[in-house]
Amino acid sequence: MPRAGGTNATRADERHRPSPVRIDVEELGKSYGSFAALDNVSLTVKPGELLALLGPSGSGKTTLLRAIAGLTATEEGTIRFDGEDATVLSLRERRVGFVFQQYALFRHMTVFDNVAFGLRVRPREERPRAGEIARRVRRLLELVQLGGLEKRFPSQISGGQRQRVALARALAIEPRVLLLDEPFGALDAKVRKELRSWLRELHTETGLTTVFVTHDQEEALELADRVVIMRAGRVEQIGTPSEIYDEPATPFVCEFLGGVARFEVTAKEGEADVLGSLFPVEGDGDYHGPALAYVRAHEIEIVARERAEGVPAVIRAVRPFGPTVTVELSIEGRASRIEAEVPRELYSGGELGIGQGVFIRATSARIYAAN
Amino acid sequence: MSSDPLALDTSRIPSRPSPEPRPFFRTPVSETPLVKAALIATGLAFIVLMIFLPLAAVFFEAFRRGVEPFFASLVEPDALSAVRLTLLVAAISVPANLVFGLVASWAIAKFEFKGKSFLVTLIDLPFSVSPVIAGLVYILLFGSYGFVGPWLIANGYQIVFAVPGIVLATIFVTFPFVARQLIPLMEQQGKGDEEAALSLGASGLQTFFRVTLPNIKWALLYGVLLCNARAMGEFGAVSVVSGHIRGKTNTMPLHVEILYNEYNFVAAFAVASLLAFLALVTLVLKSVLEWRYGGELAASGRH
Amino acid sequence: MSNRSFALLRPAPSVLPGWGFTMGLTLTWLSLIILIPLAGVFVRSAGLGWDAFWTLAADPRTIAALKLSFGTALIAAGVNVVFGFLAAWVLVRYDFPGKRLFDAAIDLPFALPTAVAGLAFTALYAPNGWIGSLLVPLGIKVAYTPLGIVVALIFIGLPFVVRSVQPVLADFDKELEEASATLGASRLQTVARVILPTLLPSLLTGFALAFARGVGEYGSIIFIAGNIPYVSEIAPLLIVIRLEEFNYAGATAIAAIMLVISFALLLLINLLQAWNHRRTGIQA
């Protein structure tokens, strides 16, 4: 990707780039009838941070993003930009750069006119001159690597290019924060990957406080500084990608991140047996009663012979793709199969025949009290 | 299962009165209440002025002298013969356009060929031709100074200034109604259903009557309805070819004109109100079709 | 169809039957009812010779009538673009009691015979009519003037504009308006710069349909126009008058001119739409 243009533009901007904005969402509530779209949501987006709102559909993540933008009314709570109540501001005063999932480009305008739109609709006294508008639009189009496409119409460029036009258009109003709704949702897999790293770079260059919505956990964990996991209008967990991955706060987070096997177990004195080994219950050292245990595929070990720990299992399928080999196993008394990720050597060693009996154990497990 | 972490825990949704949205928040994609009210008022005032008021005027004028003169002007022999002729003309021209509409939309929608859009333009042509010209063309053809008129008249066939001319002119102005309703719909429906029927051993006609027709029946009815309204109400084209012979070649709209020119206003408005009533019935049926079978009527948009 | 000379009308291979029959019948019927009779107008005009045709066309009464027909149709279609858009906007965007009734009523001009409409407008706008009597003190005369023609043509053309715009407005992507708002546009700017330009092709379609219909309209006008030569005599009426005088050449010449101008305008508008569609992908 050509980088020269982008870097120059950034340097020119550096001098009067305002310091990034901090967003405080305080006890935000919004309901549609009896359905709570947002239920007492509080979080802080640090200045200059790239934050992901992650959750299944209907979890309220897009509602939250639209509320921050001022596109959706909320009934309770406040949103502050650098301490200032933003809910009383008009959209023009809010100056939020919003990139829509389907880009919402104006089809009757050229790429240039789309990007220039936000500057041209300013009140006369604030509006830059035509020459200045042209200069800024060109610079932005170079920043998003679309120089030369000014005269094209949105219908004449690719999906990825449209995405970047939408971004340039949002950046043209010199937004205080940048909000993106499923920024890669409408693109095919290959373009998604490319744009992902490019967005990361762009964020570094602009330094804007940026919030994006996604339902793709891989995208969120790979791209964001911090991730907010939402469910049914509430925040389930906030943390850095490694915190989320290593210390999922709730069973929901565990399951949403995926790649886990779930076991219903009974805990005694703060411990429960999972595949023949004892693991502690999260946050409660004396817990007695039903609990849910989650084990990731790579935390399941296959051993050929019974040791002190482990349970008998039968190999049902082997998927030898990628750096590790995935093995599907069934154990007695459990309907669904368990997936284990094992080193390739084990597979090349010829020890994984379908139908073969083995023993498995968990090297690690997260256990949550069920009530 | 209560322990399912993906299940919604409703007990945690606090029950509170659903508060009004913040007073200062207006969704950014709507107008202020004042602007909204002004727009609604202007728009509706325009519709009242242009649509409802004229309609009211017809009925008001028709009953101006009471109920008796109203009915008297409807049962008078010339009026009755105008009604009969109007029904006769519609009874011929509407089925003619129905058959043509079905045949044309089958050929156009179910096959791919060059010049398709040009052919559709030609079918739509009567919409952009003045009804008076629609009448004129038949006079140029069949009139006593026309291309084939003298020969026809010499052999005893009277086309213009007679019922056949009125029927022809009516078919001309209503020509596109059924076809243009069906073509976009049938194009959208594609030919998968028909191909399936044929592959199951149905004959061409069986396929048409059992597969195609049920798919388009409401749109067909809709087109026929509009076609019929125009056929019964056509004035310009019919006026040119009719010859205005009372009791013989006068349709209802022409009868209205004659009565009006004779300053017999109550009778003119009485017959006009009958036509207006017909239009209202058409509108009601049309609306019912739209509300009930909206999706099956048209591929995109209406008229 | 095996005949190679009919390549234009040979369909792509298909298993469906009936091509020859249905296409044959379509073309025959279309030719007999529409094309051959219409061609007669041009054959007759050509038969007049250029000089004779020109004399007929240049007749001041003919020119006045043509100007009136095209002029009033243009004004009425223009008014309908404004109010038709407003009506469509109100019917699509807002909820109010009686909305369905108003929506259904828009189609009345399609269903009401033109003669009845003409009669109704004459009754309303005559100096002693409901509206006419209100306008007399203001010195405004509607009935028996070109203004009356415009009023009748607004009625005739209204549904064309509303029904062209309505579905496009209903499908309008709200996100475009939201995008415009987040970029700092006022509501008025959003309507003027984002919504209207997107609706322009459908407004143009509605305009063209209303205009074409208005140029040729006869029934609703002759009652209200007063039909004074050079003042309020429309071209279709002049055709009728020439026919009644057995002046077939005169009638044919006027018809030929009307047809040529109407078709040329429709062609122009279609080309404009096609050009816009190629550029922006916006369908009328």
**Does any CB of chain C come closer than 8 Å to the CB of residue A331?**
no
Distance from the C197 Cα atom to the nearest Cα atom in chain A, whole angstroms: 7
d(CA B162, CA B169): 11
Query: Is residue A196 within 8 Å of residue A50, measured between CB atoms?
Result: no
d(CA A347, CA A355): 14
Please give the angle made by the CA atoms of C90, B300 and B106, to the nearest 5 degrees: 150
Which residue among B29, B58, B303 places its CB closest to the CB of C119?
Answer: B58
d(CA A274, CA A278): 6
Phi and psi dihedrals of A141, rounded to 5?
-65, -30
What's the pLDDT at B17?
A: 46
What's the pLDDT at A32?
A: 86
d(CA C108, CA C115): 13
Q: Look at the block and give the residue holding tokens 């003042």.
A: C231
Contact C119 B137 (CB under 8 A): no
A154: which residues sit within 8 A by CB, 6+ positions away?
A103, A105, A106, A107, A109, A111, A114, A162, A165, C280, C281
Distance from the C85 Cα atom to the nearest Cα atom in chain A, whole angstroms: 19
| Greatest alpha-carbon span in chain B | 97
Contact C216 B133 (CB under 8 A): yes
**Does any CB of chain A come closer than 8 Å to the CB of residue B21?**
yes
Lowest mean pLDDT among A276-290, B98-112, B225-239: A276-290
Please give the angle made by the CA atoms of C251, C253 and C255, to the nearest 5 degrees: 70
Q: pLDDT confidence of A15, banded at 50, 70, 90?
A: very low
What's the pLDDT at A5?
A: 41
Lowest mean pLDDT among A273-282, B30-39, B53-62: A273-282
Residue A7 has pLDDT above 50, yes or no: no
d(CA A287, CA A278): 14
What's the pLDDT at C4?
A: 40
DSSP string for B1-66: -TT-TTS--GGGS-----PPPPTT---TTS--HHHHHHHHHHHHHHHIIIIIHHHHHHHHHHTTT-
What's the pLDDT at C189?
A: 94
**Does any CB of chain B come closer than 8 Å to the CB of residue A189?**
no
**Does any CB of chain A come closer than 8 Å to the CB of residue B17?**
no
Residue B79 has pLDDT above 80, yes or no: yes
What's the pLDDT at A16?
A: 55
What's the pLDDT at A306?
A: 61
**Does any CB of chain C come closer than 8 Å to the CB of residue B164?**
no
Q: What percent of chain B lies above the pLDDT cut of 70?
A: 89
Q: pLDDT confidence of B22, banded at 50, 70, 90?
A: low
Residue C192 has pLDDT above 90, yes or no: yes
Q: Coil, helix or strand for B246?
A: coil
Phi and psi dihedrals of C228, rounded to 5?
-90, 125
* Nearest chain C alpha carbon to A98: C182
Chain B contacts in chain C segment 57-76 (CB below 8 A): none
Over residues A356-366, mean pLDDT: 87
What's the pLDDT at A188?
A: 80
The token pair at C256 is: 């030929």
Which of the two residues, A305 and C261, has the higher pLDDT score?
Answer: C261
Over residues B41-68, mean pLDDT: 94
In chain A, residues with a C-beta closer than 8 Å to the C-beta of C200 are: 108
Paired with B135 in beta bridges are none
Contact A117 C180 (CB under 8 A): yes
**Does any CB of chain A come closer than 8 Å to the CB of residue C179?**
yes
Strands A177-181 and A96-99, by their bridges, are parallel
ipTM of the shown complex: 0.90
Residue C124 burial (CB count, 10 A)? 24
Residue B25 has pLDDT above 70, yes or no: no
Contact A153 C279 (CB under 8 A): yes
Over residues A341-366, mean pLDDT: 81
What's the pLDDT at C184?
A: 92
Say what angle helices B213-233 and B265-297 make with each other, to 10 degrees. Answer: 160
The token pair at C124 is: 């309303």
What's the pLDDT at A277?
A: 84
Over residues C25-40, mean pLDDT: 94
- Alpha helices (runs of H) in chain C, residue ranges in sequence order: 19-30, 36-48, 50-57, 60-93, 99-105, 108-111, 114-125, 132-135, 146-170, 174-182, 187-190, 196-216, 219-225, 235-244, 248-280
**Does any CB of chain C come closer than 8 Å to the CB of residue A107?**
yes
Which of the two residues, C147 and B23, has the higher pLDDT score?
Answer: C147
In chain A, residues with a C-beta closer than 8 Å to the C-beta of C182 are: 69-71, 91, 94, 96-98, 170
What's the pLDDT at B52?
A: 96
Distance from the C88 Cα atom to the nearest Cα atom in chain A, whole angstroms: 21
Distance from the B15 Cα atom to the nearest Cα atom in chain A, whole angstroms: 9
Contact B140 C40 (CB under 8 A): yes
Contact C216 B131 (CB under 8 A): yes
* Nearest chain C alpha carbon to A109: C280
Residue C94 has pLDDT above 70, yes or no: yes
Closest CA to B198 of B211, B208, B207: B207
Q: Look at the block and give the residue holding tokens 């949403």.
A: A256
What's the pLDDT at A96?
A: 94
What's the pLDDT at A2?
A: 42
Which residue among A91, A107, A122 places its CB closest to the CB of C280?
Answer: A107
A99-124 pLDDT, tens per residue? 999 999 999 999 999 999 999 999 99
Distance from the B9 Cα atom to the nearest Cα atom in chain A, whole angstroms: 9
A300-316 pLDDT, tens per residue? 888 766 666 788 888 89
What's the pLDDT at B130?
A: 95
Residue A294 has pLDDT above 90, yes or no: yes
**Does any CB of chain C come closer than 8 Å to the CB of residue B148?**
no
Contact C22 B131 (CB under 8 A): no
* Nearest chain C alpha carbon to B227: C111
**Does any CB of chain B come closer than 8 Å to the CB of residue A282?**
no
Residue C3 has pLDDT above 60, yes or no: no
The token pair at C232 is: 């309020």
Contact B22 A264 (CB under 8 A): no
d(CA A336, CA C107): 61
d(CA B260, CA B271): 10
B130-154 pLDDT, tens per residue? 999 999 999 999 988 888 888 998 8
The token pair at A79 is: 């949103």
Residue C31 has pLDDT above 90, yes or no: yes
Over residues A165-194, mean pLDDT: 89
Distance from the B16 Cα atom to the nearest Cα atom in chain C, whole angstroms: 28
Question: What DSSP element (H or E) covers B255?
Answer: helix B252-261
Query: Is residue C180 within 8 Å of residue C194, measured between CB atoms?
Result: yes
Which residue among C178, C183, C281 places its CB closest to the CB of A117?
Answer: C183
What's the pLDDT at A342?
A: 84
| Greatest alpha-carbon span in chain C | 74
Rg (CA), chain C: 23
Contact B22 A250 (CB under 8 A): no
Contact B55 C236 (CB under 8 A): no
Q: pLDDT confidence of A12, banded at 50, 70, 90?
A: very low
For chain A, give the mean pLDDT.
Answer: 87
Lowest mean pLDDT among A70-79, B5-14, B47-56, B249-258: B5-14
The token pair at B232 is: 């019964």
In chain B, residues with a C-beta closer than 8 Å to the C-beta of A74 are: 22
Q: pLDDT confidence of C266, banded at 50, 70, 90?
A: confident
**Does any CB of chain C come closer than 8 Å to the CB of residue A102?**
yes
What's the pLDDT at C284?
A: 66
Contact A251 B5 (CB under 8 A): yes
Residue C167 has pLDDT above 50, yes or no: yes
What's the pLDDT at B201?
A: 87
Determine the residue among B11, B25, B29 to mutate to test chain A binding: the one whose Cβ has the most chain A Cβ atoms within 10 Å.
B25
Over residues A54-80, mean pLDDT: 92
Distance from the B292 Cα atom to the nearest Cα atom in chain C, whole angstroms: 13
Q: pLDDT confidence of A323, banded at 50, 70, 90?
A: confident
d(CA B113, CA C247): 43
Contact A255 B6 (CB under 8 A): yes
State the SS3 of chain A.
Answer: CCCHHHHHHHHHHHCCCCCCCCEEEEEEEEEECCEEEEEEEEEEECCCCEEEEECCCCCCHHHHHHHHHCCCCCCEEEEEECCEECCCCCHHHHCEEEECCCCCCCCCCCHHHHHHHHHHCCCHHHCCCHHHHHHHHHHHHHHCCCCCCCCCCHHHCCHHHHHHHHHHHHHHCCCCEEEEECCCCCCCHHHHHHHHHHHHHHHHHHCCEEEEEECCHHHHHHHCCEEEEEECCEEEEEECHHHHHHCCCCHHHHHHHCCEEEEEEEEECCEEEECCEEEEECCCCCCCEEEEEEEEHHHEEEECCCCCCCEEEEEEEEECCCCEEEEEEEECCCCCCEEEEEEHHHHHCCCCCCCCEEEEEECCCEEEECC
Residue B5 has pLDDT above 70, yes or no: no
Strands A324-331 and A338-343, by their bridges, are antiparallel
**Does any CB of chain A come closer than 8 Å to the CB of residue B6?**
yes
**Does any CB of chain B come closer than 8 Å to the CB of residue A250?**
yes
Phi and psi dihedrals of A109, rounded to 5?
-115, 150
Paired with A235 in beta bridges are A230
Distance from the B8 Cα atom to the nearest Cα atom in chain C, whole angstroms: 30
Question: Distances from the Cα of A220 to the Cαs of A244, A266, B51, C65, in angstroms?
Answer: 11, 33, 57, 71
Rg (CA), chain B: 27
d(CA C23, CA C42): 26
* Nearest chain B alpha carbon to C101: B287
d(CA A338, CA A293): 13
**Does any CB of chain B come closer than 8 Å to the CB of residue A76?**
yes
In chain A, residues with a C-beta closer than 8 Å to the C-beta of C186 are: 92, 121
For chain B, give the mean pLDDT.
Answer: 87
Determine the residue among C34, C122, C135 to mutate to test chain B binding: the one whose Cβ has the most chain B Cβ atoms within 10 Å.
C34
For chain C, give the mean pLDDT.
Answer: 91
Which residue among B103, B111, B136 places its CB closest to the CB of C243?
Answer: B136
Query: Is residue B175 within 8 Å of residue B231, measured between CB atoms?
Result: no
Residue C1 has pLDDT above 70, yes or no: no
